[in-house]
C-alpha cells in the first residue's frame, strides 16, 4: 500500500518542428584524423509521460493534439488557493518502472518545487522530486547486437523521479501563446549514469526503455508525440585521460535524431580538441537542428538558473510499504528481452520473429500468448519453428498485404495449431495451408462462432477432402504427364535449355490438382519425366 | 464586553459596499443580497470571511493591488461547508496584504482603514484591530456578523482577537481544509475562527472541520477518529478538574494571578514548564514563512488570473519578462516585497543549507519540546515518544504583550516585536491548536486575551479550558 504521511525536466526549449517532407538528412562527413583515439561518454535524461489518462495533481485529462486550453483544471493554471492532489496510479506506474529498471525504491520520497519564471509554468514552480526521488541506483543491461552495439554492458540508472510537465508555448508574431493542455501532466524523469560510449549504445538504451515502458503500460514511449523526450549529455576524451567537459543537447524527439545529435556533438568536440588542445570546450546547453543534423548553442552554463528547490508542503511524503513493493515485484510481467531469450533458447526460433510477435501487442503480449497457444505445452522445436513460420511469415504476411489488423481471434489458435500439425503429418500440403489462411482471413467467421469452426468445416468449405488430398492418393505422375502433354511449347523450350520454363509446368500441375499438390514433389517428378 | 451587542438585526442597517470615503470599515466587500430562508446548523447566521478565502460571488484580493477585482472561479471548501449548513456570507474582511503584517495596515492605497471597535470610550484615538485578520476580528467585535473566518500563519487570528476582545481559534494544522485559501506559507497556514464567545467559535469550527479530498494536508477521518479517542480519554469528567496547565518559563509576560487562582480553584493544576527551543525557533519561522511566501507569490504577475493589473498588456518595447517585473513591482506592497526578497534569498543555492534547512531543523526541535511537555500523546504518531505521565495538558500565557496599539504611531523596532512573536509563532511552527480568549483588560481599558495551546487535535480541551477563562472574565 502507498501510505501518505502528513509531515511531511528540464525547461523545454521550443524548436520549430519540421514536417517530414522537409527533413533532409546530412550525408556522412569525412572522418577526422585520429578519431579512433577518442572515447565518447554519454549519459541520458529521459522524460516519459505517465500513461494514467489524467494529470499528476488534478483530475483534468491528458490529451494530444486537441483544441488548446481545453483540458485544464484550475490547479494546472495555478489559480490562487488551488492545491495538488497526487494521482496514486501515477505513483504505482512509476514504482513498477523503477522495479523493472532494478532500482532501489526509497521507503519515503517527497515532492519539491523547482522555481523559475516563464510562460510555460503558471505557478512559477514545477513540482518535482529533487531531494528524495522515488528510486535510485538501477540498471538496464544492453546486449551485444541490440541496435548493432558491439558489447554487452549495463546502463546504470542514477535516479527515477515523478514530476509535472510544463505547458506548451508558441511565439506568434510579437506574442507568446500558451497551451495548458500539457501542463501538469505526470512525467517520470529517468537519469542514467554516463555509461554509454556510442550513438548506437544510446539508441539501444532508449529503444529498450521504450519496450519496457510499453510492456508495463507505464508509458507509450512515443517520441513523435513528445510523450518520451530525451536530453543527452556528451563529452569526449582521449583514452586514459580524465573525462572532458560535457554539453547537453535538449529535447530530442526520435532515436534517429538522438544518434545524429551524439554523432554531431562527438565530432564537434574532437574537432575542437584537435584544433585548440589548450582551451577547454565551453560547457553549454545545445539543440539539434533537424535539417542539418548539427547541434547549435542554446545557452551557456554561466546563464544557468538557481532553481531555489524547496520542499512542497502541500504534498505529504510518499511512504512505500515494503510488502506492497514486494507484491508489485512479483507481479512484474515478463519483459520483452526475457521472452526473446526464453523462446530462442527453448525452441531455437529466430530472435527477429519473436520481436515481430512482441510488436503485435507490446503491452499485453497477445502475439506471444497466441504463439504459445498454437505450439501448446512441451512442443518440440520443429513444430515450434514451423508454427513461427506459419504465424509470422504466412499469416502476418497475408494480412499485411490486405491491411487487416492482427487479432488473436482472426484465426483461433486451436485452428492454427490443428492446421500446422496436419501439414507436419503430411495430411495436407503447405499450399493448402496457405489457402486455408487466405480463406479464413478474407471471410472471417463471426467472432462468436469462431471457436466452433473446425478445420474440417474449413476444408469442406474449400471443397477439399482430407482423404483425397492425402499425399499418397494423389497421382502426381499422372498429373505431370497430363501437364507435359498440355504444354508442348514449354517442354520444347525446356529441352532447349531454358530451365525456368519448368515453373509454367509446375503451375499447370497445380491448376490440375486444384492447388493441392506439393510443389516441391511436382518439380522433382517433372524433372524426372523431362529427362526421358 | 464593550463590543456593540447586536446580531442579525444589525444586518438590516444599510452598509455601502467598498466604502471609499473616510469611514473606516472592516469589510472589503459586503454581500448586498438579502439572505433567503435556510436550514442547517448555521441557518440564518451571518459569517464574514477574510479576503484571502475564495468565494465565487466576491472579488477575493488578499488586500493586494495585484489581485484587485480578481473573481475566483470557485469557492473555498470551508466556505462551502458554512453555506451547506445554512450560513449567510456577510462579506469579506480586510487584512494585511497576503497576511503579512500584524495591524491590518498593509492595505492598498484605495482602502479605508480598519479601526478597532473595542474602544472603552467613544473619544479614544483609533487603535489597531491587529492583524493580519484584523478585518475579521473587527467585524465580529462591532457585531455586524456573528462569527468570521480568518487565517493564521504566525498569529494572525489570535493577535487581532486579543486586541478586539473576541475569541480567536487557530486550530491544529490540517483540521480545516485550505482548498481555496490563497496561500501565504503552506506549512503554517490555518483557517481560523473568530467569534464573540467560545460556544460560537466551537459551533462554526465543528461545521468546517472535516476531511477534504481536495487538500492532501487536511486530516483524514481515520486520524480524526484517533484524535477524538485520545481527546475523550483526556477531557476532565467535570469542568477543568484535574486538568494540568503549564506556564512556559521562557515567556516573560504573565497572566493575572487572579485568573490562575480561579482556575486552581476549579480543580486545575498549574505548574511551570520549559520549552528550551522556543527562542531559537523564532528565526525558523521568519525563514520558513518568507521562503514559502516567495514560492507561493511567484504565480502573480504572469497574466493568468484575470485581475485588471494582471490583464495589462505590454508597454511598447517591453518584453514579457519586463512586463511581469513591472506588474509585480507595482502590484505588491512594500512588506510583501520585503518578504519575497528575504524568502528568495533563503532558498538560493548558497544560502539553502545554512538558512532553510537549519530552520527546518529548529522547527523539529521545537516540536520535540512540545511532545516532551504534553501528557497527551500526539495522535499522528502516538507511540513515537514515551508518554510523559507528569506532563501538562494545556499551555497558558498571554496572547499579546500589550493592548491594541494606536494607529499611525510608528514604533521603533524593538525586542517587543520579538517578544510578541514568541507568544504566537511557536504554536504555528508546531501545528498545535491555540485559542485566544478575552481575559480582562489592560490599564488603558482596552481588552487583553490569554492563549491556550494543547496537543495536536485537542481542540476540545482548549475549548473546555477557554470556557473556564470566560467564566472568570464574566466575574470581573
Question: Using one digit for the tens of pLDDT, what is the confidence trace for B244-260?
Answer: 999 999 999 999 999 99
The predicted-structure confidence for A168-183, as pLDDT tens digits, reads as follows 988 888 888 999 999 9
Contact B186 A119 (CB under 8 A): no
Closest CB from B70, B180, B217 relative to A316: B217
| Catalytic status, residue B50 | yes
Contact A310 B356 (CB under 8 A): yes
What ranges in A250-378 are assigned the alpha helix state H?
255-275, 322-330, 336-347, 351-360, 366-375
CA distance A135 to A114: 19
Distance from the B242 Cα atom to the nearest Cα atom in chain A, whole angstroms: 32
Distance from the B294 Cα atom to the nearest Cα atom in chain A, whole angstroms: 10
Contact B213 A312 (CB under 8 A): no
Query: Going by C-beta distance under 8 Å and a sequence separation of 6 or more, which residues neighbour residue A417?
Result: A373, A374, A375, A376, A387
Bridge partners of residue A390, in order along the sequence: none
Q: What is the pLDDT of residue A476?
A: 78
Catalytic residue among B61, B128, B132, B231: B132
Contact A80 B291 (CB under 8 A): no
Question: Same structural domain for residues A315 and A360?
Answer: no
Average pLDDT estimate for A478-502:
85
Question: Same structural domain for residues A246 and A342?
Answer: no
Average pLDDT estimate for A496-514:
84
| Final residue belonging to a domain, choices A427, A443, A471 | A471
Q: Are B270 and B264 in contact (CB under 8 A)?
A: yes
Question: Same structural domain for residues A297 and A402?
Answer: no
Q: What is the pLDDT of residue B429?
A: 98
Average pLDDT estimate for B316-345:
94
Catalytic residue among B28, B46, B50, B428: B50
Would the CA dihedral through B115, B119, B125, B131 be positive or negative? negative
Q: What is the pLDDT of residue A465?
A: 62
Chain B residues lying within 8 Å of A308, measured CB to CB: 294-295, 344, 347-349, 352
Q: Are A246 and A45 in contact (CB under 8 A)?
A: no
Which of A211, A223, A123 lies closest to A167, judged by CA?
A123
Mean pLDDT of the residues in chain B = 91
Chain B residues lying within 8 Å of A79, measured CB to CB: 72-74, 304-305
| Catalytic status, residue B156 | yes
Per 3-state DSSP, chain B is made up of helix, strand and coil in percentages (nearest 5) of 35, 15, 50
The mean-pLDDT minimum among A151-160, A465-474, B27-36, B381-390 falls in A465-474
- A27 located within any domain: no
**pLDDT at residue B413 tops 70:** no
- A467 located within any domain: yes
CATH classification of the domain holding A496:
1.10.10
Average pLDDT estimate for B227-243:
94
Q: What is the pLDDT of residue B7?
A: 32
- The arrangement of strands across the sheet holding A317-320 comes to A2-5, A317-320, A108-109
Q: What is the pLDDT of residue A475?
A: 75
> What residues 284-313 of chain A have any CB closer than 8 A to a CB of chain B?
306, 308-313
Q: Residue A529: which pLDDT band, with cuts at 50, 70 and 90? A: confident
Question: Same structural domain for residues A230 and A355?
Answer: no
Distance from the B54 Cα atom to the nearest Cα atom in chain A, whole angstroms: 7
Question: Same structural domain for residues A465 and A482?
Answer: no
Chain A residues lying within 8 Å of B360, measured CB to CB: 311
Question: Same structural domain for residues A300 and A226?
Answer: yes
Contact B186 A314 (CB under 8 A): yes
Chain A residues lying within 8 Å of B179, measured CB to CB: 81-83
Would the CA dihedral through B133, B135, B140, B145 be positive or negative? negative
Distance from the B366 Cα atom to the nearest Cα atom in chain A, whole angstroms: 14
- The grid coordinates of residue B351 equal 544560502
Q: What is the pLDDT of residue A25?
A: 46
Catalytic residue among B28, B65, B156, B428: B156
Closest CB from A115, A117, A306 relative to B324: A117
Q: Are B347 and B353 in contact (CB under 8 A)?
A: no
DSSP codes of every residue in A234-273: EEEEETTS-----EEEEEE-SHHHHHHHHHHHHHHHHHHH
> What residues 15-44 of chain A have any CB closer than 8 A to a CB of chain B?
none
Parallel, antiparallel, or unpaired: how do β-strands B434-441 and A2-5 relate?
Answer: unpaired
The rounded percent of chain A whose pLDDT value lies above 90 is: 59
| Final residue belonging to a domain, choices A437, A471, A505 | A471
The predicted-structure confidence for A85-106, as pLDDT tens digits, reads as follows 999 999 999 999 999 999 999 9
Q: What is the pLDDT of residue A18?
A: 41
Q: What is the pLDDT of residue B385?
A: 60
Mean pLDDT of the residues in chain A = 87
Question: Same structural domain for residues A151 and A70?
Answer: yes
Give whichever of A2-11, A58-67, A486-495, B305-314 has the largest mean pLDDT.
Answer: A58-67
- A21 located within any domain: no
Closest CB from A124, A311, A316 relative to B299: A124
Which of A76, A170, A174 lies closest to B320, judged by CA?
A174
Q: Residue A495: which pLDDT band, with cuts at 50, 70 and 90? A: confident
**Cβ of residue A72 closer than 8 Å to a chain B Cβ:** no
**Cβ of residue A78 closer than 8 Å to a chain B Cβ:** yes
Secondary structure class of B192 (helix, strand, coil) = strand
Query: Going by C-beta distance under 8 Å and a sequence separation of 6 or more, which residues neighbour residue B448?
Result: B162, B398, B399, B400, B403, B438, B439, B440, B441, B442
Question: Same structural domain for residues A406 and A278?
Answer: no
Distance from the B299 Cα atom to the nearest Cα atom in chain A, whole angstroms: 4
Q: Residue A513: which pLDDT band, with cuts at 50, 70 and 90? A: confident
- A495 located within any domain: yes
Distance from the B275 Cα atom to the nearest Cα atom in chain A, whole angstroms: 21
Chain A residues lying within 8 Å of B321, measured CB to CB: 117
Q: What is the pLDDT of residue A404?
A: 87
**Cβ of residue A79 closer than 8 Å to a chain B Cβ:** yes
Q: What is the pLDDT of residue B2?
A: 25
Q: Are B212 and B191 in contact (CB under 8 A)?
A: no
Average pLDDT estimate for A155-163:
98
Contact A80 B214 (CB under 8 A): no
- The grid coordinates of residue A473 equal 492418393
Q: How many domains does chain A have?
A: 3
Q: Is B413 exposed, middle or buried (0-12, 13-18, 19+ CB in 10 A)?
A: exposed
Q: Which residue of B has its CA nearest to A57?
A: B214
Q: What is the pLDDT of residue B22?
A: 57
Q: Residue A23: which pLDDT band, with cuts at 50, 70 and 90? A: very low
Average pLDDT estimate for B399-413:
85
Parallel, antiparallel, or unpaired: how do β-strands B434-441 and B167-170 relate?
Answer: antiparallel
The rounded percent of chain A whose pLDDT value lies above 70 is: 89
* Interface test mutation site (partner B, options A80, A110, A304, max chain B beta carbons within 10 A): A80
| Catalytic status, residue B132 | yes
| Final residue belonging to a domain, choices A422, A440, A471 | A471
The predicted-structure confidence for B432-443, as pLDDT tens digits, reads as follows 999 999 999 999
Q: Which residue of B has its CA nearest to A176?
A: B320
Q: What is the pLDDT of residue B309?
A: 84
Question: Same structural domain for residues A350 and A415?
Answer: yes
CA distance B147 to B134: 13
Domains of chain B (ranges, CATH numbers): 8-239+397-408+425-475 (3.90.1300.10)
- A25 located within any domain: no
Distance from the A308 Cα atom to the nearest Cα atom in chain B, whole angstroms: 5
Q: How many residues does chain B have?
A: 476
- The grid coordinates of residue B253 equal 509576560
Tell me: cis bond preceding B78? Omega within 30 of 0 counts. no
- A74 located within any domain: yes
Question: Same structural domain for residues A247 and A356?
Answer: no
Q: What is the pLDDT of residue A446?
A: 52
Contact A115 B347 (CB under 8 A): yes
Question: Same structural domain for residues A230 and A257?
Answer: yes
Average pLDDT estimate for B22-51:
92
Average pLDDT estimate for A387-405:
91
Give me the residue label for grid cell 515450434.
A384
Q: What is the pLDDT of residue A303?
A: 67
**pLDDT at residue B13 tops 50:** no
Question: Same structural domain for residues A305 and A401?
Answer: no
Residue A451 structural domain = 336-471
**pLDDT at residue B180 tops 70:** yes
Q: Which residue of A has its CA nearest to B291?
A: A310
**pLDDT at residue A22 tops 50:** no
Q: What is the pLDDT of residue A337?
A: 94
The predicted-structure confidence for B351-397, as pLDDT tens digits, reads as follows 999 999 999 999 999 999 999 999 999 998 766 666 788 899 999 99
Size of interface A-B (CB pairs under 8 A): 103
The predicted-structure confidence for B283-316, as pLDDT tens digits, reads as follows 999 999 999 999 999 999 988 887 888 888 888 8
The rounded percent of chain B whose pLDDT value lies above 90 is: 81
Average pLDDT estimate for B56-83:
96
Give me the residue label for grid cell 531559537.
B280
- The grid coordinates of residue B465 equal 479550558
Give whichever of A64-68, A289-293, B90-94 has the largest mean pLDDT.
Answer: B90-94
- pTM for the structure as a whole: 0.87
Query: Going by C-beta distance under 8 Å and a sequence separation of 6 or more, which residues neighbour residue B308?
Result: B68, B69
- A327 located within any domain: no
Amino acid at each position: 500500500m502507498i501510505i501518505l504521511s502528513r509531515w511531511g525536466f528540464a525547461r523545454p526549449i521550443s524548436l520549430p518542428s519540421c514536417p517530414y517532407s522537409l527533413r533532409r538528412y546530412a550525408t556522412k562527413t569525412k572522418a577526422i584524423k585520429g578519431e579512433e583515439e577518442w572515447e565518447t561518454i554519454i549519459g541520458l535524461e529521459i522524460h516519459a509521460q505517465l500513461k494514467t489518462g489524467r494529470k499528476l495533481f488534478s483530475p483534468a485529462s491528458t490529451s494530444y493534439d486537441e483544441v488548446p486550453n481545453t483540458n485544464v483544471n484550475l490547479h494546472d493554471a495555478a489559480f490562487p488557493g488551488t492545491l495538488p492532489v497526487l494521482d496514486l496510479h501515477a505513483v504505482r506506474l512509476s514504482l513498477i518502472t523503477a522495479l523493472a529498471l532494478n532500482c532501489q525504491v526509497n521507503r519515503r520520497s517527497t515532492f519539491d518545487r523547482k522555481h523559475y519564471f516563464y510562460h510555460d509554468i503558471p505557478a512559477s514552480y514545477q513540482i518535482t522530486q529533487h531531494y528524495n526521488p522515488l528510486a535510485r541506483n538501477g540498471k538496464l543491461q544492453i546486449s551485444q547486437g541490440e541496435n548493432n552495439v558491439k558489447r554487452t554492458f549495463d546502463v546504470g540508472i542514477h535516479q527515477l523521479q515523478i514530476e509535472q510537465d510544463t505547458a506548451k508555448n508558441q511565439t506568434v508574431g510579437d506574442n507568446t501563446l500558451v497551451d495548458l493542455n500539457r501542463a501538469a501532466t505526470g512525467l517520470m524523469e529517468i537519469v542514467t549514469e554516463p555509461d554509454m560510449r556510442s550513438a548506437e549504445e544510446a539508441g539501444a538504451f532508449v529503444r529498450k526503455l521504450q519496450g519496457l515502458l510499453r510492456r508495463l503500460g507505464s508509458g507509450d514511449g512515443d517520441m513523435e508525440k513528445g510523450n518520451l523526450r530525451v536530453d543527452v549529455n556528451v563529452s569526449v576524451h582521449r583514452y586514459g585521460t580524465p573525462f572532458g567537459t560535457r554539453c547537453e543537447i535538449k529535447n530530442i524527439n526520435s532515436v534517429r535524431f538522438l544518434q545524429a545529435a551524439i554523432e554531431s556533438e562527438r565530432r564537434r568536440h574532437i574537432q575542437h580538441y584537435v584544433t585548440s588542445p589548450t582551451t577547454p570546450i565551453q560547457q553549454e546547453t545545445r539543440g539539434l537542428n533537424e535539417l542539418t543534423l548539427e547541434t547549435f548553442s542554446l545557452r551557456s552554463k554561466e546563464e544557468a538558473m538557481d532553481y531555489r528547490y524547496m520542499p512542497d508542503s502541500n504534498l505529504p511524503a510518499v511512504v512505500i510499504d515494503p510488502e506492497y513493493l514486494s507484491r508489485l515485484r512479483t507481479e512484474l510481467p515478463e519483459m520483452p528481452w526475457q521472452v526473446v531469450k526464453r523462446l530462442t533458447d527453448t525452441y531455437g526460433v529466430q530472435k527477429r520473429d519473436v520481436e515481430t510477435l512482441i510488436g503485435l501487442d507490446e503491452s499485453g503480449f497477445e502475439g506471444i500468448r497466441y504463439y504459445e497457444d498454437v505450439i501448446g505445452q512441451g512442443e518440440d522445436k520443429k513444430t515450434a519453428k514451423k508454427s513461427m513460420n506459419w504465424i509470422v511469415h504466412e499469416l502476418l504476411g497475408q494480412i499485411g498485404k490486405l491491411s487487416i489488423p492482427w487479432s488473436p481471434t482472426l484465426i483461433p489458435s486451436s485452428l492454427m495449431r490443428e492446421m500446422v500439425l496436419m501439414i507436419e503429418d503430411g495430411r495436407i500440403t503447405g499450399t493448402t495451408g496457405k489457402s486455408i489462411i487466405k480463406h479464413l482471413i478474407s471471410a472471417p467467421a463471426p467472432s462468436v462462432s469462431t471457436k466452433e469452426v473446425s478445420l474440417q468445416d474449413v476444408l469442406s468449405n474449400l471443397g477439399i477432402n482430407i482423404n483425397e488430398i492425402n499425399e499418397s492418393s494423389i497421382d502426381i505422375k499422372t498429373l505431370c504427364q497430363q501437364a507435359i502433354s498440355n504444354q508442348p511449347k514449354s517442354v520444347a523450350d525446356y529441352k532447349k535449355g531454358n530451365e525456368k520454363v519448368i515453373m509454367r509446368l509446375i503451375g499447370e500441375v497445380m491448376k490440375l490438382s486444384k492447388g493441392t499438390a506439393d510443389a516441391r514433389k511436382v518439380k522433382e517428378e517433372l524433372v524426372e519425366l523431362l529427362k526421358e | 464586553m464593550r463590543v456593540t451587542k447586536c446580531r442579525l438585526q444589525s444586518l438590516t442597517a444599510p452598509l455601502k459596499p467598498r466604502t471609499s470615503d473616510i469611514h473606516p470599515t472592516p469589510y472589503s466587500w459586503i454581500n448586498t443580497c438579502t439572505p433567503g430562508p435556510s436550514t442547517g446548523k448555521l441557518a440564518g447566521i451571518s459569517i464574514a470571511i477574510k479576503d484571502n478565502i475564495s468565494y465565487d460571488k466576491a472579488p477575493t484580493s488578499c488586500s493586494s493591488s495585484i489581485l484587485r477585482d480578481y473573481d475566483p472561479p470557485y469557492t473555498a471548501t470551508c466556505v462551502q461547508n458554512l453555506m451547506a449548513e445554512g450560513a449567510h456570507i456577510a462579506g469579506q474582511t480586510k487584512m494585511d496584504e497576503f497576511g503579512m503584517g500584524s495591524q491590518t495596515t498593509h492595505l492598498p492605497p484605495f482602502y479605508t482603514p480598519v479601526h478597532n471597535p473595542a474602544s472603552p470610550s467613544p473619544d479614544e484615538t483609533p487603535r489597531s484591530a491587529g492583524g493580519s485578520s484584523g478585518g475579521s476580528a473587527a467585524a465580529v467585535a462591532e457585531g455586524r456578523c456573528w462569527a468570521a473566518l480568518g487565517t493564521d500563519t504566525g498569529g494572525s487570528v489570535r493577535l487581532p482577537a486579543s486586541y478586539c476582545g473576541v475569541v480567536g481559534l487557530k486550530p491544529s494544522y490540517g483540521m480545516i481544509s485550505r482548498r481555496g485559501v490563497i496561500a501565504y506559507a503552506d506549512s503554517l497556514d490555518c483557517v481560523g475562527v473568530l467569534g464573540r464567545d467560545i460556544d460560537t467559535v466551537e459551533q462554526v469550527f465543528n461545521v468546517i472541520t472535516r476531511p477534504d479530498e481536495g487538500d492532501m494536508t487536511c486530516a483524514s477521518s481515520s486520524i480524526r477518529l484517533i484524535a477524538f479517542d485520545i481527546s475523550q480519554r483526556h477531557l476532565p469528567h467535570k469542568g477543568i478538574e484535574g486538568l494540568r496547565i503549564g506556564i512556559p518559563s521562557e515567556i516573560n509576560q504573565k497572566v493575572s494571578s487572579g485568573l490562575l487562582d480561579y482556575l486552581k480553584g476549579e480543580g486545575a493544576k498549574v505548574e511551570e514548564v520549559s520549552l528550551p527551543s522556543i527562542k531559537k525557533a523564532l528565526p525558523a519561522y521568519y525563514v520558513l514563512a518568507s521562503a514559502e511566501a516567495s514560492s507561493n507569490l511567484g504565480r502573480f504577475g504572469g497574466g493568468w488570473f484575470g485581475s485588471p493589473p494582471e490583464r495589462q498588456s505590454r508597454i511598447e518595447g517591453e518584453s514579457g519578462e519586463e512586463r511581469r517585473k513591472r506588474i509585480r513591482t507595482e502590484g505588491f506592497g512594500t512588506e510583501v516585497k520585503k518578504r519575497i526578497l528575504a524568502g528568495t534569498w533563503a532558498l538560493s543555492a548558497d544560502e539553502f543549507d545554512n538558512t532553510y534547512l537549519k530552520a527546518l531543523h529548529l522547527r523539529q526541535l521545537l516540536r520535540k519540546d512540545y511532545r516532551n511537555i504534553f501528557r497527551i500523546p500526539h495522535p499522528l504518531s502516538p507511540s513515537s515518544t514515551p508518554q510523559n505521565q507528569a506532563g501538562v495538558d494545556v499551555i497558558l500565557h498571554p496572547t499579546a504583550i500589550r493592548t491594541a496599539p494606536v494607529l499611525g504611531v510608528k514604533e521603533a523596532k524593538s525586542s517587543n516585536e520579538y517578544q510578541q512573536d514568541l507568544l504566537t509563532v511557536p504554536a504555528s511552527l508546531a501545528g498545535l491548536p491555540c485559542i485566544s480568549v478575552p481575559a480582562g483588560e489592560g490599564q488603558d481599558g482596552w481588552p487583553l486575551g490569554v492563549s491556550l495551546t494543547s496537543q495536536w487535535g485537542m481542540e476540545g480541551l482548549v475549548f473546555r479550558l477557554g470556557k473556564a477563562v470566560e467564566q472568570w472574565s464574566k466575574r470581573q
